[in-house]
Structure 1
Amino acid sequence: MNPALRIPAEFVAPSTEDAHLPPFFEVGSFAFGKQSLLILLSVVIIAGFFLFVIRRRAMVPSKGQFLGEMGYGFVRNHLGRDIIGEKDFRPYVPLLFTFFFFILVNNLFGSILVLQLPTFAHPGSAYVVAAIAYVVWVFVGIKRHGFGQFMVKMTMPPNVPKILYVILIPLEFLSNLIIRPVTHALRVFATMFAGHMAIMVAAALTAFLATQVGGVLGIGGSIFGIILGLFIYFLEVLIQVLQAYIFTLLFAVYVQGALQEGH
């Protein structure tokens, strides 16, 4: 057989276990690992950046101040005022701001060399943030309308024959109050995990072709693997930004729906 076409042992793709690194230390059932460290780092980065850029509040802003004000203005105006409404949006701007930049930075960790781990690729992070969002908009709806009227809004769509409520009430209850928070979390988790795994597979395949196959097939395949990996990388950066936006946008939509009058 031509050595250039020799095929070695079959390629073994990275598994889900490879995406979860062992913890640095454990205390009982509590484990502190790379994911926990990156979450803490994200808080330091976000707080440090915005505290730094607003320290002087110049009339003619520096580049850092301009960037910070632009980010805040985007969340305040586009995700707050335009979605929730001019009358009600102000109390929710801090939470919208926190959701957007916290998810954004933690997602982008997956595209930074050495770090290379989007913390929302672990389901726990996504479920905690989605749970906070869920508690807030449900509380807001009950506070505005009372428990009974809020449940009516969530389970009884207007302008339908009353006989259909026998079917619609349980379906709407499951859709709005059970499935909605789950999908809110799964959307960001699933995309971050899938993108992280795709990059791992592309990198492992490239390394396998370059080091194990060799010859024309190995060189050609590794070049293709690099191109594929770069494509996935830039696509993942786009998705990381979009998922931070979509999560925060949906929270704003849920709050707006909880606040609006009528059904």
Structure 2
Amino acid sequence: MFEPPGLGLFEWKPLFHLGPVAVHKPIVLCLLVTAVVPAFFWGAFARPAIVPGRMQNLGELAYLFVRDQIARPMMGVRGDRWMGLLFSLFFFVWTANLMAVVPPAQFPVTGHIAFPAVLAGLVYVIMWVVGVRAHGLVGFIRHATCPPGLSRGETVLVAPLEFLSAFVLRPFTHAVRLFATMFAGHLLVALFATVGYHFLIQAPTPLGAPVGVVGVAFTVVVTALELFVQAVQAYVFTLIAAYSIGDALGV
């Protein structure tokens, strides 16, 4: 009998223990991503050449993309000072997303809410730190909640909404948007792959074979779409981070 995949995809038995700490698959994948991303860019930039090789070319294109498509549009030339954070954030999130389609990993690290929540929380703390440094505590809250050009009565109405948006909803949606997209995409790919496996291999029948073929075809299509979405979500996550920090600075 066909059983569609469910939330069991996101339940893991410990792979091993480090003392009292249970280490699960998402943690191992996160550590792998944390090693792979710096290793690649170390290889690209450790010995820069005037005539760049293939890895250096890729590294430079990657840097220019984050600078020209995220940092400067959101923060102006001051965004160059934040390239270390934004560059690392983009490629960490993107590579973590890509784990969903890399055998035998086949799980998006950001499909576990803890990882987007920590990253969004980091951006939130940085936003507060730079905002308070730039404007002072009261000035930062006023800057974030009182748009210029409003009358006193309009400010009284708008300020609570702006406060809710800037300090409550934005960090929440920053994390949940990435998590929910990766979570849903992983479920869809698993569903169509399970349909193909069940009707073509596990319980093949003449009537079920066409359903299995459709399942395989949709697995390929949804996986291709997921590759696109993974890159887009890394871009959007980093773009919101740049906007939040730039807005706190008053850029």
Q: Normalising by structure 1, what TM-score?
A: 0.90
8 Å contact 1:96–1:248 — kept in the other structure? Answer: yes
Change beyond 3 A, Cα 1:29–1:157: farther
Name the residue aligned to 1:36.
Answer: 27
- The one-letter code sitting in structure 2 at the alignment partner of 1:145 is H
1:152-184: per-residue Cα shift (whole Å, max 9, x none)? 122222333322333322222111101110100
Name the residue aligned to 1:4.
Answer: none
Distance of 1:202 and 1:105 partners within structure 2: 23
Name the residue aligned to 2:133.
Answer: 143
Name the residue aligned to 1:51.
Answer: 42
Q: Which one of 204, 207, 210 corresponds to residue 197 of structure 2?
A: 207
Distance of 2:105 and 2:188 partners within structure 1: 16
- Is residue 2:240 matched to residue 1:250? yes
Shift of 1:130: 0.4
1:181-237: per-residue Cα shift (whole Å, max 9, x none)? 010000110000000111111111112222455333211111100111111100001
Q: Runs of 5+ in structure 1 lacking a partner?
A: 1-8
- The one-letter code sitting in structure 2 at the alignment partner of 1:74 is F
Distance of 1:28 and 1:175 partners within structure 2: 42
Distance of 1:174 and 1:32 partners within structure 2: 36
- The one-letter code sitting in structure 2 at the alignment partner of 1:105 is T
Shift of 1:116: 0.5
Q: Which one of 59, 63, 67 corresponds to residue 54 of structure 2?
A: 63
Q: Which one of 213, 224, 239 corresponds to residue 234 of structure 1?
A: 224
1:58-86: per-residue Cα shift (whole Å, max 9, x none)? 11111111001111121123222232011
Q: Point out the more displaced range, 159-168 or 227-236.
A: 159-168
Name the residue aligned to 1:216.
Answer: 206
Q: Runs of 5+ in structure 2 lacking a partner?
A: none
Distance of 1:203 and 1:57 partners within structure 2: 43
Q: Which one of 61, 72, 89 corresponds to residue 81 of structure 1?
A: 72
Name the residue aligned to 2:163.
Answer: 173
Name the SS of the counterpart of 2:207 in structure 1.
helix
Question: 1:10-25, aligned counterparts within 5 Å?
Answer: 11-25=2-16
Name the SS of the counterpart of 1:216 in structure 2.
coil
Distance of 1:120 and 1:25 partners within structure 2: 21
Distance of 1:89 and 1:47 partners within structure 2: 21
- The one-letter code sitting in structure 2 at the alignment partner of 1:18 is L
The structure with more radius of gyration: 1
Name the residue aligned to 1:117.
Answer: 107
8 Å contact 2:123–2:245 — kept in the other structure? Answer: no
Q: Normalising by structure 2, what TM-score?
A: 0.94
Shift of 1:48: 1.0
Q: Point out the more displaced range, 192-201 or 20-29.
A: 20-29
- The one-letter code sitting in structure 2 at the alignment partner of 1:81 is R
- The one-letter code sitting in structure 2 at the alignment partner of 1:182 is F
8 Å contact 1:19–1:197 — kept in the other structure? Answer: no
8 Å contact 1:100–1:248 — kept in the other structure? Answer: yes
1:83-102: per-residue Cα shift (whole Å, max 9, x none)? 2011x223211000110010
Distance of 1:32 and 1:230 partners within structure 2: 31
